[in-house]
């Protein structure tokens, strides 16, 4: 079975866009691949973020993924900072990575732009990410399009190391979830629904109160035509609601159009709100069970033990290849 691995930053907020665009895909992949899922908390400290509560966010993120259907029996779930081999290997990989190639990373350029003080960790971030991936011989890495360049540099580093020291790492491939449905902002449906959006009325968060979710959908921007028809160019708001409805019900776009061909926008929006609220309510109930229970602690303990064993074996192999004193 091919191995898949992905990391999630513990930033706290998960949107309906993340759920439809990424989490649902991962729930599907867990039956096809041997899956590794971890909280990238070491990456979270590369930028100043004084109000981030790492412990709580880590637990909350894991509870939410489990509530969304990530099965702890099918996934190895762990916390990056609980496995020291990632950072150990990262140092060795840094010595096989060029300053020039790291300087060309889009994320680094964007996050350091105009700033006098940014950390060395922000610069070497992609190398730690490469280490996360190749220490487990991951074949596939599902990420958003913004992280594609980082998976590509992980490939380059792995190929370079293999050439210099002999075959050691599997060369990973990115799986870009952007091919799935892109969920747009409810207020400005020409832009992507994003956790960092200024107007939070356009963004549904998975842990929003059901009443808030309902209100946000009922107030979503539409158009003056009064026709439930998919046309992203001229009717971005309605098209976005059709996408949301379709992904929650499993119906195709034309089935949705047919179902609401005689409905006004109020009726359609109410139907969208009903399906979203009903599914998210179930998720929230499970979330609360996980957050208040002890299962997460057990899952993370097992994940930590298993991944430390795997990672140590690879790290030791790397040290032998380089010829360090044993
Ligand atoms: P981000 O929240 O941008 O770090 O993205 C995390 C994952 O969620 C990536 O796989 C994205 O492609 C996906 N994602 C984020 N926002 C959306 C959206 N509005 N529609 C669909 N997928 C999204
Ligand atoms: N950098 C990724 C992000 O911000 C998170 C991440 C860290 C990751 N290590 C990884 C993703 C390894 C995939 C594989 O989304």
CB 22 near ligand 1, within 6 Å: yes
The proportion of the chain whose per-residue pLDDT surpasses 90, expressed as a percent, equals: 91
Distance CA 162, CA 181 (A): 37
pLDDT at residue 22 in the model: 87
Mutational test site, ligand 1, from 20, 21, 111, max ligand atoms within 8 Å of CB? 21
Q: Measured in angstroms, how far is the CA atom of residue 15 from the centroid of ligand 1?
A: 8
- Is residue 143 within 8 Å of 153, Cβ to Cβ? no
From the CA atom positions of the chain, what is the Rg in Å? 22
Ranges 144-148, 166-170, 208-212, 319-323: which has the least confidence: 144-148
Confidence of residue 176 (pLDDT cuts 50, 70, 90): confident
Residue-wise pLDDT tens digits, 259-299: 999 999 999 999 999 999 999 999 999 999 999 999 999 99
Q: Which domains does the chain have, with CATH numbers?
A: 3-180+294-322 (3.40.50.620), 200-288 (1.10.240.10)
Q: How far is CA 28 from CA 45, 160, 217, 247, in A?
A: 30, 33, 27, 13
Could you tell me which of 325, 291, 309, 323 has the C-alpha nearest to residue 67?
A: 291
pLDDT at residue 178 in the model: 57
Closest ligand to residue 172's CA: 2
Distance CA 207, CA 143 (A): 22
Residue-wise pLDDT tens digits, 4-30: 999 999 986 899 999 998 898 899 999
CB 195 near ligand 1, within 6 Å: yes
Residue closest by Cα to atom 12 of ligand 1: 144
Alpha helices (runs of H) in the chain, residue ranges in sequence order: 16-18, 24-29, 41-44, 54-67, 85-94, 99-103, 106-112, 120-134, 148-165, 210-218, 236-249, 253-259, 265-292, 295-322
- Whether residue 73 is predicted with pLDDT greater than 60 in this model: the reply is yes
Q: What is the mean pLDDT of residues 67-74?
A: 98
Residues recognised as catalytic: 111, 192, 195
Atom of ligand 2 nearest to the CA of 132: 12
Residue-wise pLDDT tens digits, 242-261: 999 999 999 999 999 999 99
DSSP 3-state assignment of 184? strand
pLDDT at residue 57 in the model: 94
Confidence of residue 51 (pLDDT cuts 50, 70, 90): confident
pTM recorded for the entire structure: 0.93
Mutational test site, ligand 2, from 4, 6, 7, 138, max ligand atoms within 8 Å of CB? 7
Mean of per-residue pLDDT scores for the chain: 95
DSSP state for residue 27 in the 8-state scheme: H
Closest ligand to residue 36's CA: 2
CB 21 near ligand 1, within 6 Å: yes
Alpha helices (runs of H) in 19-117, residue ranges in sequence order: 24-29, 41-44, 54-67, 85-94, 99-103, 106-112
Distance CA 260, CA 268 (A): 7
The proportion of the chain whose per-residue pLDDT surpasses 70, expressed as a percent, equals: 98
Closest ligand to residue 191's CA: 1
List beta partners, residue 231.
Answer: 235
Q: What tokens were used for 9?
A: 């930053």
Task: Tell me the backbone φ, ψ of residue 39, rounded to 5 degrees.
Answer: -90, 120
Residue-wise pLDDT tens digits, 180-222: 689 999 999 999 999 888 899 999 999 999 999 999 999 999 9
pLDDT at residue 144 in the model: 86
List beta partners, residue 79.
Answer: 39
Q: Measured in angstroms, how far is the CA atom of residue 67 from the centroid of ligand 1?
A: 18
- Whether residue 61 is predicted with pLDDT greater than 90 in this model: the reply is yes
Ranges 54-68, 125-139, 168-182, 290-304: which has the least confidence: 168-182
- Whether residue 325 is predicted with pLDDT greater than 60 in this model: the reply is yes
Q: What is the mean pLDDT of residues 289-313?
A: 98
- Whether residue 179 is predicted with pLDDT greater than 70 in this model: the reply is no
The distance from CA 157 to its chain's CA centroid, rounded to whole angstroms, is 23
């Amino acid at each position: 079975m091919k191995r898949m691995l992905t990391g999630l930053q513990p930033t706290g907020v998960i949107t309906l866009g993340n759920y439809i665009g990424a989490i649902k895909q991962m729930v599907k992949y867990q039956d096809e691949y041997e899956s590794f899922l971890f909280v990238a908390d070491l990456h979270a400290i590369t930028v100043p973020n004084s109000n981030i509560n790492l412990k709580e966010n880590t637990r909350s993120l894991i509870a939410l993924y489990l509530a969304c259907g990530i099965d702890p029996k099918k996934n190895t779930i762990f916390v990056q900072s609980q496995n020291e081999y990632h950072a150990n290997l990262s140092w060795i990989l840094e010595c096989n990575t060029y300053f020039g190639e790291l300087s060309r990373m889009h994320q680094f350029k964007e996050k350091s732009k105009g700033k006098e003080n940014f950390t060395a960790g922000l610069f070497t971030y992609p190398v730690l990410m490469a280490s996360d991936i190749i220490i487990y011989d991951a074949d596939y890495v599902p990420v958003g399009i913004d992280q594609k360049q980082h998976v590509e540099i992980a490939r380059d580093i792995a190929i370079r190391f293999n050439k210099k020291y002999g075959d050691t790492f599997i060369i990973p491939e990115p799986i870009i979830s952007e091919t799935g449905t892109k969920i747009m902002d409810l207020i400005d449906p020409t832009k992507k629904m994003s956790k960092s959006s200024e107007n939070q009325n356009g963004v549904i968060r998975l842990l929003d109160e059901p009443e808030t979710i309902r209100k946000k959908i009922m107030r979503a921007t539409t158009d003056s035509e009064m026709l439930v028809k998919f046309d992203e160019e001229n009717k971005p708001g309605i098209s976005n609601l059709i996408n949301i409805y379709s992904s929650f019900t499993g119906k195709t776009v034309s089935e949705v159009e047919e179902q609401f061909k005689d409905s006004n926008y109020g009726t359609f929006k109410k139907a969208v709100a009903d399906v979203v609220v009903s599914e998210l309510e179930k998720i929230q109930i499970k979330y609360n069970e996980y957050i208040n229970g002890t299962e997460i602690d057990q899952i993370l303990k097992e994940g930590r033990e298993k991944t430390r064993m795997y990672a140590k074996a690879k790290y030791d192999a790397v040290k032998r290849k380089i010829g360090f004193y044993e």
